[in-house]
Structure 1
Amino acid sequence: MSVWQIAGWILWLLIIVRYFPREFWPKLKTEPGYQHFVFATVLGLSALWSVKAGIIAGLNIHFLLLTTLILCHGWRIAMLLCLFVSLILILLQQVPIADAGLYAFTTFILPGLFSYLLFLASYRYLTRHLFIYIFVAGFLAAALTIALHMLLVSLWFYAEGRFAWDIIYDNYLKLSILTWFPEALLNGGAITLMAVYQPHWLRTFYDREYLSPER
């Protein structure tokens, strides 16, 4: 393992310990509906992140659905669920165990935190309206999040010397433009459906504020 890979593992473990959501296990044990929701989330993300495409082996692209995950569970529980997803991908040999720490940072820790901060900014500074929640915290945040994810992966591979920058730029980073709208549409559609039919699934959605007739 390289110094980068070891550092990634250490920082990932420190973040798991420091930000472990203590309320998660009691809720999971006592609420069967929440159990089904969590298990479906983990299995769905594992399947989604396993489907990859790319021009050059090692420079693979996949959708994240990370913004939806953050809005459903909050950042801390979302990071814990991504830990389970990562373990499944490691067992399926989709992610090398040595890369797991840096994979975590570039795929869901930093992009997930970024997406959550965008939600907080929209909640704090914009009108609390259903359209704002769906379009800004969902649609727009998802597009920016996957763009950040692909930029972080590009910097990681370049810093480790896996690929030259021109190869990364031409065969990976340029393709990020093609993922922005589909990722935004995927998240925006999922959040719209949940806000209308299953608002209790969205931990960050508040009926009294976003659906208030006074707004």
Structure 2
Amino acid sequence: MIILGILVVILVAWQVDWPDWLADKTRHHLSFGSAIALVPLWMLQAGVKEGLELHFLGLTTLALMLGWRMGLLMSSVSLVLITLFGFESWSSFGVNHLLGVILPITFSYLLFVLTYSYLYRHLFVYIFVAGFLNAALTIAFKTLLLSGFMVWTAQYDWQTVLDNYLSVLPLLLLPEALLNGMAVTVLVVFRPNWMRTYLDRDYLINK
């Protein structure tokens, strides 16, 4: 899995317009600041069994703020940092990267694209659907992915995963949704230019 994750990162990095990114200092600070901000959030883990730790993601805000490509790259940097700090093991890096970063942020950005394409473009739709609801669905998606992997690889049986991991998921849905929903709201109101997926002409003007 680690090789697959590295290949994805290389392909994504290849598609980034680096000259344009390097020319914008605000994007530098925003990108690396977002990566650093995820580190303490991911350090706040809770879990009974090894490998079944739960923590808030914040990936929906990152996807909406930076876009899919840069969001994926910066969240990968965050994972490297918390692994270096000893909060995750290097032996689990490939799984954490693919199932905890790449697929969830891709899922979250895809949900945004679907809301942008098929729902009425309004500020409240952006905040409550692309932000609030999206975040809850993303953490559910990530938790189910990891649960399925643990059972499939026989690291834990289904009952153990259900009792020690999935049973806690309902308690995380609302906080994750609120965390991202409030972050998106504050950014849209006070720093809309920081949100790569938000434009006033789409969601606010003449609504």
Displacement of 1:61 in angstroms is 0.7
User: How many residue pairs are counted as aligned between the two chains?
Assistant: 207
> 95-104 or 66-75: which moved more?
95-104
Displacement of 1:19 in angstroms is 1.8
Partner of 1:197: 190
Give the conservation status (yes or no) of the 8 Å contact 1:27–1:34.
no
Q: Deviations over 1:55-91 (max 9, x none)?
A: 3343211000110000001111111101211211221
What is the rounded CA distance, in whole Å, between the counterparts of 1:156 and 1:55 in structure 2? 17
2:67 matches 1:39: no
Partner of 2:59: 66
What is the rounded CA distance, in whole Å, between the counterparts of 1:73 and 1:79 in structure 2? 9
What is the rounded CA distance, in whole Å, between the counterparts of 1:66 and 1:37 in structure 2? 14
Q: Deviations over 1:20-77 (max 9, x none)?
A: 2554543453333222222221111011111101233432110001100000011111
Q: For 1:19, what is the secondary structure of its paired residue?
A: helix
- CA change 1:57–1:101 in 2 (3 A) is closer
What is the rounded CA distance, in whole Å, between the counterparts of 1:15 and 1:110 in structure 2? 11
Q: Deviations over 1:140-163 (max 9, x none)?
A: 000000001111111111122221
Q: Which amino acid aligns with 1:74?
A: G
What is the rounded CA distance, in whole Å, between the counterparts of 1:138 and 1:113 in structure 2? 14
Q: For 1:63, what is the secondary structure of its paired residue?
A: coil
What is the rounded CA distance, in whole Å, between the counterparts of 2:78 and 2:58 in structure 1? 13
Structure 1 unaligned regions, length at least 5: 1-7
What is the rounded CA distance, in whole Å, between the counterparts of 1:74 and 1:34 in structure 2? 12
> 28-37 or 63-72: which moved more?
28-37
What is the rounded CA distance, in whole Å, between the counterparts of 1:39 and 1:109 in structure 2? 18
2:3 matches 1:10: yes
Structure 2 unaligned regions, length at least 5: none
Residues 19-58 of structure 1 correspond to what in structure 2 (within 5 A)? Answer: 19-20=12-13, 22-23=15-16, 25-58=18-51
What is the rounded CA distance, in whole Å, between the counterparts of 2:72 and 2:86 in structure 1? 20
- Structure 1 vs Structure 2: percent identity of aligned residues? 41
Partner of 1:174: 167
Match among 79, 95, 99 for residue 86 of structure 1 = 79
Give the conservation status (yes or no) of the 8 Å contact 1:67–1:142.
yes
Give the conservation status (yes or no) of the 8 Å contact 1:21–1:76.
no
Under a length normalisation based on structure 1, what TM-score does the superposition of the two structures give?
A: 0.91
Q: Which amino acid aligns with 1:202?
A: M
Give the conservation status (yes or no) of the 8 Å contact 1:24–1:77.
no
Q: For 2:165, what is the secondary structure of its paired residue?
A: helix
Under a length normalisation based on structure 2, what TM-score does the superposition of the two structures give?
A: 0.94
Partner of 1:128: 121
Please provide the CA RMSD for this pair. 1.4
2:177 matches 1:184: yes
